[in-house]
Structure 1
Amino acid sequence: MNSRLKDRLVVITGASSGIGEKIARIVAESGGHLVLLARRKDRLKKLSDELQASHSISCTYYELDVSDLDAVSEVFTDITENFDRVDVLVNNAGFGIFRNAEEATFEEMQQMFKVNVFGLIAATKLVLPKMLAQREGHIINVASQAGKIATPKSSIYSATKHAVLGFTNSLRMEVADRGIFVTSVNPGPIETDFFNLADTSGDYVKNVQRWMLNPEAVAQKIVSVMLTNKREINMPVWMELGGLVYRLMPSLFEKVAGNLFRQK
Structure 2
Amino acid sequence: MNARPLQDKVVVITGATGGIGRAIAKALAPEGAKLVLGSRRVSVLEALAEELKREDGCEAVYSGLDVTDEEEVRHFFLQAAQNLGRLDILLSLAGLSIPSGIADMTIEQYEQSIDVNLKGTFLCAKHFMRHVDSDRGGFIVNTGSMAAKRANGNAPLYCTAKAAVNMFTQGLALQAVDKNIRVTVLNPGATDTEFWGTRPVARDKFMQASDVAGVILSVLKMPPQIVVHEISFESFGV
Q: How far is the alpha carbon of 1:69 from its aligned partner?
A: 2.3
Aligned residue runs from structure 1 range 6-25, under 5 A: 6-25=7-26
Task: Looking at secondary structure, tell me which structure has more helix per residue.
Answer: 1
Kept in 1: contact 2:207–2:235 (CA 8 A): no
Say which SS state the counterpart of residue 53 (structure 2) adopts. helix
2:212 pairs with 1:214: no
Structure 2 residue ranges without an equivalent (≥5)? none
| Alpha-carbon offset, residue 238 of structure 1 | 6.0
Which residue of 2 is the match for residue 256 of structure 1? none
TM-score (norm 2): 0.90
* Residue aligning to 2:176: 175
The 1:52–1:210 alpha-carbon spacing in structure 2 relative to 1, beyond 3 Å, is closer
Matches within 5 A, 1:193-208: 193-196=194-197, 200=198, 202-203=199-200, 205-206=201-202
Matched, 1:60 2:64: no
Measure, in 2, the Cα distance between the counterparts of 1:66 and 1:47.
19
CA shift for structure 1 position 195? 0.7
What is the CA–CA distance in structure 2 between the aligned matches of 1:46 and 1:14, rounded to whole Å?
A: 15
Q: 3-state SS of the aligned residue for 1:4?
A: coil
CA-based RMSD:
1.9
One-letter amino acid of the counterpart of residue 188, structure 1: G
Question: Once the two structures are aligned, what percentage of the paired residues are identical?
Answer: 34
Contact map agreement 1:143 1:185 (CA 8 A) in 2? yes
SS in 2 for 1:141: strand
Residues 222 and 233, structure 1, Cα contact 8 Å, conserved in 2: no
User: What are the superposed Cα offsets for residues 183-202 of structure 1, whole Å, 9 maximum, x if unpaired?
Assistant: 11101111000011xxx4x3
Q: Does 1:235 align with 2:233?
A: yes
* DSSP 3-state at the match of 2:173: helix
**Structure 1 counterpart of 2:48:** 47
Cα offset for 1:227? 5.1
Check whether the contact 1:48–1:61 (CA below 8 A) recurs between aligned residues.
yes
Three-state SS of the structure 2 residue aligned to 1:109 is helix
Q: Which stretches in structure 1 are left out of the alignment for 5+ residues?
A: 240-259
Which of these residues, 198, 211, 226, is aligned with residue 220 of structure 2? 226
For 1:61-117, what per-residue CA distance to the aligned partner results, in whole angstroms no more than 9, with x for missing partners? 001121222211221222233332211100000000111211211111111111111
Give the greater-gyration-radius structure (CA): 1
**Deviating runs (4+, > 4 A) in structure 1?**
none
Instruction: Give matches, 1:84-163, under 5 Å.
Output: 84-131=85-132, 133-163=134-164
Relative to structure 1, the CA distance from residue 43 to residue 210 in structure 2 (aligned partners, 3 Å threshold; closer, same or farther) is closer
**How far did 1:168 drift?**
0.4
**What is the deviation of 1:20?**
0.2
Q: Which moved more, 1:109-118 or 1:176-185?
A: 176-185
**CA displacement, residues 162-216 of structure 1 (integer Å, 9 cap, x when unaligned):** 11101101111222354211011101111000011xxx4x33x13xx35411111
SS at match of 1:176: helix
Going from structure 1 to structure 2, the CA distance change for 1:237 and 1:191 (only over 3 Å counts) comes to closer
Further displaced range: 68-77 or 58-67? 68-77
Contact (CA 8 Å) 1:186, 1:233: kept in 2 or not?
A: yes
Cα distance in 2 for partners of 1:138, 1:165 equals: 16
- The equivalent of 1:255 in structure 2 is none
Which letter does structure 1 place at the counterpart of 2:52?
A: L
